[in-house]
Amino acid sequence: MISQQAGLQKVGDIAKYFGNATDSAKDAAGVMSAAEFPLPPVYTEKAYKDLVKGSKPPRMWDMKEGDGDPFWFYASQLFDDYRMRNVGGSSEVSEQFVPVRVTKAEQRAMQGGDALLFQVETDKPANEAALKRFHMPPGFKDQRVRYGWVQFAPGGIASGQGVLSVAFAVPANSNLSIDEVAKQVSAAKIKTL
């Protein structure tokens, strides 16, 4: 997933993980989900209708709409459930995310600009139902998922130029690391300037 953005997104949220790269946190999964792996609208609409009726929404891998869609798989591994609670006589719905381990959260000066790096890993491997529904490769069995998000600002963060944002997700045993992605993004951006 590659997109041009006007500026760095969620810097404040990500910054709270700088220097905390071993803690397990649900907020980190929420940041990754909101920024690069959002819940599919078909799922959120179904969940909303179920919540209004007082029913519990299905798990993402129980919905036929996402059959064979890897994006649904990656989103499902970050998202836990919707929780409803009574607040002052009215219902409040909140999204709950799964705990993930933050393995990197840093701002780095690179050739041609600055990069914001954010990488997390799920604490648990995907369940069999999710792997089957989304037709994931056999290599994902018994594997946690590693998510990475690189934002590269040519000329530096304060330059005001557009930002190249790249997200990826791989099995945790993959050789693809956020450092390699950042290096490639920096090199590609320099070639286009």
Q: What are the distances in angstroms from CA 150 to CA 24, 42, 157?
A: 20, 27, 13
CB 182: neighbour CB atoms within 10 A?
Answer: 23
CA 115, 119, 120 angle in degrees (round to 5)? 165
User: Torsion angle, CA of 19/23/25/30, rounded to 10 degrees?
Assistant: 40
pLDDT at residue 64 in the model: 92
- Predicted TM-score (pTM) of the model is 0.85
Residues of the chain with pLDDT under 70: 1-13, 15, 17-24, 159-160, 189-193
Digit-coded pLDDT (tens) for 151-161: 888 877 776 67
Digit-coded pLDDT (tens) for 114-155: 888 889 999 999 999 999 999 999 889 999 999 999 888 887
How far is it, in rounded angstroms, from Cα 122 to Cα 159? 34
CB 154: neighbour CB atoms within 10 A?
Answer: 18
pLDDT at residue 138 in the model: 87
